Amino acid sequence: MDTTVVDVPEKGRFEVRVGERVVGLASYHVENGQMTLPHTEVDPSMGGKGIGTTLVSGVLSAARERGLTVLPYCSFIRHYIQQHPEEMDLVTVHDRPHFGLETADR
């Protein structure tokens, strides 16, 4: 399965594609050095195949490469960050309590 994560800034989203087919997306907005992440979705027919994880990993990698912090309003992204503490630094210490991440950096 050839899976890629592609930034589509004119639509304000990252898309995860299998071949040429868009099977999921993560909407975003960048302002003042922060990437706001309000929503992700994956085609239900693709559930359980790691597509969402691939998508979030790609989004967070892009934020890191661009020197941005993230505001993980999306619960799936918050859960991913909790499960991958090496990504916690993308959420500022000040913002972590707002997202229930204040104890996840141990």
The band of 102, judged by pLDDT with boundaries at 50, 70 and 90, is confident
| 69/103: higher pLDDT | 69
Name the phi and psi angles at 49, rounded to 5.
-110, 10
Give the bridge partners for 32, in sequence order: none
Q: pLDDT digit string (tens) for 44-71? A: 999 899 999 999 999 999 999 999 999 9
Q: CA gyration radius for the chain?
A: 13
CA 17, CA 46: separation in Å to the nearest integer?
Answer: 11
pLDDT score, position 105: 42
Residue 94: CB atoms within 10 A of its CB come to 8
Residue 21: CB atoms within 10 A of its CB come to 10
